[in-house]
Structure 1
Amino acid sequence: MRLRPLAVFFLLASQPALAITFQTRLENVEWTVTGDKFECRLAQPVSQFGSGEFVRRAGEQATFQLSARERWMGPGSATLLAAAAPWQPGRGDINLGRVTVGDGEVPFTSSQEQAARLMTGLLEGRSPVVRHRTAMGGDSLEVRLLPARFGKAYEEYLTCTLGLLPVNYDQIRQSQIGFPSGGVELEPLSQAKLDIILQYLEADPSVNRITLDGHSDNSGNRLTNRDLSRRRAQAVMDYLTGQGIPAEQITLRFHGERYPLVANNNAANRAQNRRVTLRLDREAVVSEQPAIAPD
């Protein structure tokens, strides 16, 4: 006989409102691991609800979220717990705080700290539990994941995370390449930063436009500063093209002292303003030659 998924409706003795619990039967529990260089996911399907997922993007720690097929959860604030199992006498639930619930297929995303504590709890036999209210009528609602078969899936997830890139697109889409000593040669720290960006670009061919904006501080005269900013942008461009980035994907601009990051009122601030801003975009290539413009 086919087992029906568990979606138990019961009355709490201390509350008049109907409580709805979503939980997969123990014998049907499974954890799945999917991922690539950009993201790893460790998920458990939840019968008649959707799934609970740990999501780790490249360059970040994991977060926890629910994915709902229907809009079960109303907007507001839900409680996140690492709940003790019934067979663990003397253990209480660990309240991990609140999460903000909104609309959409993914109603909330936890903090990285909350997700880390949920994973630790799963390794100890605890269940991730979300308690909130329904979108229809405000009845109590609980979504519970089970720790069964978690250990093996967790090992697969860790293997996936070893292959993640060191950064994600949002972290590098606008980067500052510094020239703090005042010259036009790339310094080791700046080269290391560009190497990380190049590693990402190799993995993500959808990023096909790079804009380089050269800047200076206000130490010299304007003409000298404009030339310094141009030579700095050119140094970054030369490094990128030397590593295989097509020159036609790069737009080079230079601004001298016109757009400081911070006020040029001390040595530390002036060092910050000696830079090239690198911006990545996913756009169609419209020019066969690199564009060079002062502004």
Structure 2
Amino acid sequence: MSSSFLVLASLTASLLVSGTHAGIRQYSADIHTSQWQLSADSRLKCTLSHQIPRYGEARFSAKASRKLNMEFELDMMLLPDNYSLAEVRSVAPNWQPGVGSRTLATMKLHKQFKPTLPKKVAWTMLSELEQGMSPTFYYNDWYSEQDKISVGLSTARFKKAYKDFVGCVGNLLNYSFEDIAYTVLNYQSSSDKFTKASQRRIDMIREYLSLDPDLELVLIGAYSDSYGGRWSNLKLSERRAEKIRDYFVQNGIDISRIAAKGYGEKRHIASNDTTLGRGKNRRVVIQMQKP
């Protein structure tokens, strides 16, 4: 049997006693002070936050991504001073006597880090709150070995904020910054028009750019194949780069955030002796940077 399991079992036994025990410090919002709010509400990020008086803030967050994601963060005013374990339990409120509690997870507390929990546990905690239960964290105080700490999430004023949060999550983009930060687009032959797949891709980039004010710079580099004259290919690549820049600007992106350049026949990535190779060389590379 592992030592961490024995520590946690001992902790659980000592904490699951009457809330009036002198050795337990309890933190939770009461029905009058409980506040849940949608502190981030966009197509890039949704955050449901809950203030815990004299302790800190609990946050559930989801971000734009290909897959549904979620993370819970317990933002403590006083961060852990050493490594330990906390038990996460679903506890019935005082007005539901006789309803048993159950363990949801074990949370690691790392020195000087805000503790977090992954997607599955986070969604489970939200489900418990929706059902009127209070997810509660139990751990030993790292500054006073004689004291135990319990931190509870209140169900008061939860449902309206939770409904808004679920609506926000359902409206998140189904791709992230990492999905489009480096993108290669391709053109139709002897044209500055994209292939259908590349047109869909640039529309995704345009949408993301319009939503994320933190993007520092968008680099656009356009290239051609070697079919035709070198000078005309250079000019064609320049038109391609400028067209993309103008497309972004027309959709509200500040021109100062965009650098566009045409390179003509330079930097081929495939042979120009085949139709497939020339198609790969007719490309534009879009790179986005964050500070």
TM-score, structure 1 length as denominator? 0.64
Structure 2 gap segments, 5+ residues each:
1-12, 271-278
1:116 pairs, out of 123, 136, 161, with: 123
1:78-128 residue CA offsets vs partner (Å, 9 max, x unmatched) = 333334446264644142343453425xx1222122211111111112222
Report the 3-state secondary structure (helix = DSSP H, G, I; strand = E; otherwise coil) of the residue aligned with 2:120: helix
The equivalent residue for 1:41 is 47
Cα distance change of structure 1 residues 189 and 19 upon mapping to structure 2, 3 Å threshold: farther
Cα displacement (A) at 1:64? 1.3
Q: Which residue of 1 aligns with 2:163?
A: 155
Are positions 1:250 and 2:255 aligned together?
A: no
Q: 1:73 to 1:208 in 2, by over 3 A?
A: closer
2:110 equivalent to 1:98:
no
TM-score (norm. length: structure 2): 0.65
Change in CA separation of 1:108 and 1:252 when aligned onto 2, cut-off 3 Å = farther
Are the counterparts in 1 of residues 87 and 106 from structure 2 also a CA contact under 8 Å? Answer: yes
C-alpha distance in 2 between matches for 1:204 and 1:172: 14
Deviates more, 1:109-118 or 1:197-206: 197-206
Q: Which range is displaced more, 81-90 or 43-52?
A: 81-90
What is the rounded CA distance, in whole Å, between the counterparts of 1:102 and 1:182 in structure 2? 58
Q: Secondary structure at the match of 1:122?
A: helix
Shift of 1:186: 2.5
Matching residue of 1:8: none
CA deviation digits over 1:200-232, x for unaligned, max 9? 22233453521135689xxx99xx9xx999978
1:240 shift after superposition: 4.3
**Distance of aligned partners of 1:228 and 1:129 in 2 relative to their CA distance in 1, 3 Å threshold:** farther
- Aligned partners of 1:101, 1:241: CA distance in 2, in Å? 48
Indicate the SS of the match to 2:54: coil
- Aligned equivalents of 1:180, 1:89: Cα separation in 2: 68
* 8 Å contact kept, 2:80–2:109: no
Of 17, 25, 29, which residue of structure 1 is paired with 2:30?
A: 25
Helix, strand or coil for the counterpart of 1:28? coil
- Could you tell me whether the CA contact under 8 Å between 1:22 and 1:46 is conserved in 2? yes
Whole-Å Cα distance in 1 between the matches of residues 197 and 127 of structure 2? 36
Moved more, 139-148 or 92-101: 92-101
1:143 is aligned to 2:151: yes
Percent identity between matched residues is 18
Checking the alignment, whether the CA contact within 8 Å between 2:83 and 2:110 is kept in structure 1 is: yes
Question: Which runs of 5 or more structure 1 residues have no equivalent in the other structure?
Answer: 1-10, 261-270, 284-295
Q: Which amino acid aligns with 2:52?
A: V
- Give the partner amino acid of 2:246: T
* Paired residue type of 2:139: H
- What letter is aligned with 2:182? S
1:121–1:127 Cα contact (<8 Å) kept: yes
Q: Deviations over 1:169-225 (max 9, x none)?
A: x43562323549999853323222221221122233453521135689xxx99xx9x
Q: Is the 8 A contact 2:92 2:132 kept in 1?
A: yes
- Which string of whole-angstrom CA distances, capped at 9 and with x for unpartnered residues, describes residues 32-51 of structure 1? 23234243322221121012
Q: Which residue of 1 aligns with 2:61?
A: 55
CA contact (8 A) 2:107 2:116 kept: no
RMSD: 4.5
CA spacing shift, 1:89–1:209, aligned 2, 3 Å: same
* 2: CA distance, partners of 1:121 / 1:74: 29
Conserved? CA contact 2:90–2:103, under 8 Å: yes
Give 2:287's aligned residue.
279
What code does the residue aligned with 1:21 have? Q
Pick closer, same or farther for the CA change 1:44–1:182 going to 2, 3 Å: same
